[in-house]
Amino acid sequence: MNNLTISFIIPSYNEAENIANVCKAIHHEMNRHYYGFEIIFIDDGSTDETMEEIRKVIFAYPEARYLSFTRNFGKESAILAGLQHAKGHAVIMMDADLQHPTSMIPELLKGFEEGYDQVIAKRNRKGDSPVRSALSKSFYRFVNKAVDVQLTDGEGDFRLLNRKAVNALLQLSEGNRFSKGLYSWIGLEQKTISYENVAREEGATKWSFSKLLNYGIDGIVSFNNKPLRLCFYMGSFALSLALLYICITFFQISKHGVDVPGYFTTISAVLFLGGIQLLSLGIIGEYIGRIYNETKKRPHFLIKQTNIEQSIVEEREK
Ligand code: UDP
Ligand code: MG
């Protein structure tokens, strides 16, 4: 055993069937390495037996820890809570559903030993529904044009971060967290390894279409002001068209007089401008909403119960 420890962070929302399996799999893998480790389960306000299952593994494995939230705060908050409470020299984030294969742990650790700050496990999209992978692909293509940080398809939360990277992430205190962007924003030395996509072990995905759509909007709006600029361009374009149209019509009327009442043109102009205005208002609203949320400075989560000593976290926050 060397004296380095690895903290595993497992956000869990209604994952009762998976808790014991994931704990066993990590344990099995880590027993072959010379590291100390801890496994932190974050119960994100589950409504099933997740908490009972976590209690069982805590009893069975001395390395297991847990935090439970007072309600469902979302995966981003669960990850943040895990990072704040992790004591290890490095952190590995994994999903509870075993979609992040534990067989990748040796390679992640290898990257850590080589001195990388972030070791990213990138997955291919084999087995994903064609609609979802097509949507994701076009999302990343669009986002990378619009956003100031670089996001890559298949690179998600499954990664190892060393202490330096964890501390960098903890310094970013924004209320609306979009992890994928934050990992990219902190930069540091990165290594990417890839793995085959696997299907979920038990239960169903927590991502509905509307959750994915919201996630996409977060990704675009969190990292730049380009959508606001887009409003400006669209507005200018519409205004120039309108001016041109007014000039031409005025010229024609003064020459030939009024012929047909311009119902069609009027209505199309109203619709066009109305559309642009609503879109722009929506985009501005997105930003104002975010400003409003940030000014409230609410905590990202509330902890109901934990078996991790709080003093360590408070010490770190000072
Ligand atoms: N998760 C969470 N809070 C939520 C939704 C999901 O902690 O509100 C956890 C979930 O338990 C799982 C991980 O985040 O461990 C990934 O969720 P899921 O498997 O549903 O996402 P997918 O793999 O389909 O992208
Ligand atoms: Mg999953």
pLDDT tens-place values along the chain, 318 residues long = 678 899 999 999 998 888 999 999 999 999 888 888 999 999 999 998 899 999 999 888 888 899 999 999 888 899 999 999 999 999 999 998 888 888 889 999 999 999 999 999 888 777 677 887 788 788 788 777 777 777 777 788 899 999 999 999 998 877 777 888 888 888 888 888 888 777 776 777 777 777 777 877 777 777 777 777 777 778 778 878 877 887 887 788 788 877 677 766 786 787 778 777 877 887 888 788 778 777 877 888 888 888 887 655 555 555
In what order do the strands lie in the sheet containing 36-43?
190-195, 118-123, 155-162, 90-93, 5-12, 36-43, 64-69, 303-306
Please give the Cα distance from 45 to 304 (Å, whole number): 9
**Residue 103 DSSP label:** G
Q: Which residues contact ligand 1 via a Cβ below 6 A?
A: 11-13, 15, 44, 72, 74-75, 78, 95-97, 99, 205-207
Number of H helices, E strands in the chain: 11, 8
| Predicted structure pTM score | 0.76
With beta carbons less than 8 A apart as the criterion, state whether 5 and 38 touch: yes
With beta carbons less than 8 A apart as the criterion, state whether 90 and 7 touch: yes
The closest-lying atom of ligand 1 relative to the alpha carbon of residue 73 is 8
State in Å: Cα 44 to ligand 1 middle.
10
State in Å: Cα 259 to ligand 1 middle.
63
CA dihedral 156, 160, 165, 167 (to 10 degrees): 100
CA–centroid distance for 155 within its chain: 11
* Residue 115, number of CB atoms within 10 A of its CB: 9
State in Å: Cα 131 to ligand 2 middle.
17
Q: Which of 97, 179, 195 to mutate to test the pocket of ligand 1 (most atoms within 8 A of CB)?
A: 97
Q: Which ligand is nearest to the CA of 301?
A: 1
State in Å: Cα 78 to ligand 1 middle.
10
Cross-strand pairs, 159? 93, 120
State in Å: Cα 182 to ligand 1 middle.
18
Determine which helix (DSSP H) or strand (DSSP E) holds 229, and give its type and residue range.
helix 226-256
- 36-43 and 5-12: which strand pairing? parallel
Closest residue CA from atom 23 of ligand 1: 205
With beta carbons less than 8 A apart as the criterion, state whether 158 and 121 touch: yes
State in Å: Cα 265 to ligand 1 middle.
50
Please give the Cα distance from 252 to 176 (Å, whole number): 54
The closest-lying atom of ligand 1 relative to the alpha carbon of residue 99 is 23
Q: Which ligand is nearest to the CA of 95?
A: 1
State in Å: Cα 46 to ligand 1 middle.
11
CA–centroid distance for 173 within its chain: 15
The closest-lying atom of ligand 1 relative to the alpha carbon of residue 10 is 15
Closest residue CA from atom 17 of ligand 1: 206
- What is residue 164's predicted lDDT score, i.e. its pLDDT? 92
Q: Which ligand is nearest to the CA of 125?
A: 1
